[in-house]
Structure 1
Amino acid sequence: MSPISTDDLHRIFKNLDKNNNGLVCIHELYHLLDKIGIHTTLEEIEKLVGKTSLDYIDFYFFYDAMVKEKIAEQQSDDDHNLMDDLFKAFKVFDINGDGYISCEELQSVLLRLGLLDKSSGQDCREMIHVYDKNSDGVLDFEEFKNMMSVPISTSDSEI
């Protein structure tokens, strides 16, 4: 579930349950979240929890949901960073800045990178053709993104 064990979570719950009634009220939860850097309002917590206090089982599921939300946020940040990197790579290939990668631009960049020999103009046309979904002879960003997301496979003879 998370880096915190159920024993740790139980100890946290007991420390939050100041009056030992087996419940953690929204105010106590609010102060805990604030201390660990999750800034929210009492209203948001109450809306999320759906009541004014949590027993241990509710607290456990609340914590589990918070961890899953944090993981989802991290994944969203990672996806955003990947898109930024892909767009930067696209701009390297889009030499004239028109929003498309032509065969000539692809060939020029691959030659500069030493990934293509000068006689491979047809190879670039074929590479573009494979991912050119609208058959306009160039790659837009979406087509480039699709091309870059295809996993590279190696055959046994290449290994």
Structure 2
Amino acid sequence: MSPINSTNVSRIFSKLDKNGDGLVSLDELKGFLGTIGINSSQEELELLVGKTSLDSIDFFFFYDAITKANIKESNKYDDHCENILVENDLTKVFRVFDTNGDGFICCEELQRALSRLGLWDEQCGKDCKSMINVYDKNSDGKLDFEEFNDMMFAH
């Protein structure tokens, strides 16, 4: 549901107020929500709204609240998609380091990758083992994907 201006919200309110009493009952609201795919019971609406009917101001605040809730839910989905993209990219980077494709990065593979990137020197060669040891949770002398992930996002 995308936000609309207050004039349009007022028009929706007027359409829902079928008897013209200046109030939208929970029955009228329930019918409206059902037409836009939001099914709820009378009891749920009573708990949510806290009243048996809404005047135009209450309706505007109700509309604003469900719009903001929908935007937050959409942002959660966007964040989830972004996390999947980052993980896919990280998997590709992991494969660059894991030159033999065994699912682990050993010291030699790390050294080769750093050399290809122009980041290796004699001092770095001594540090490859210590770099791996810092993130090697199971102490097997190599990094699996989870350990590599931790290393890449450590700050």
Shared fold (TM-score greater than 0.5)?
yes
Structure-2 change in CA distance of 1:48 and 1:137 (3 Å): farther
User: Among residues 104, 124, 128, which one is paired with 1:124 in the alignment?
Assistant: 128
Contact 1:103 1:138 in 2 (8 A): yes
Aligned-partner Cα distance in 2 for 1:109–1:144: 14
Give yes or no for the alignment of 1:13 onto 2:6: no
Q: Size of the alignment, in residue pairs?
A: 135
User: Among residues 73, 76, 80, which one is paired with 1:69 in the alignment?
Assistant: 73
Q: Secondary structure at 2:40's aligned position in 1? A: helix
Displacement after TM superposition at 1:102 (Å): 0.4
Percent of aligned positions that are identical: 38
CA offset digits 1:82-101 (Å, max 9, x no partner) = 11111111111011111100
User: Among residues 94, 107, 110, which one is paired with 2:111 in the alignment?
Assistant: 107
Contact 2:16 2:32 in 1 (8 A): no
Alignment of 1:74-93 (within 5 A): 74-93=78-97
TM, length-normalised to structure 1:
0.71
Q: Aligned Cα RMSD in Å?
A: 2.9
Rg larger in structure: 2
Equivalence for 1:136 = 140
Displacement after TM superposition at 1:130 (Å): 0.8
Aligned-partner Cα distance in 2 for 1:119–1:72: 44
Equivalence for 1:47 = 40
Displacement after TM superposition at 1:18 (Å): 4.5
Equivalence for 1:97 = 101
Provide structure 2 residue ranges, at least 5 long, that are not aligned to the other structure. Answer: 18-22, 47-52
Q: Secondary structure at 1:47's aligned position in 2? A: coil
Amino acid at match of 2:93: A
TM, length-normalised to structure 2:
0.72
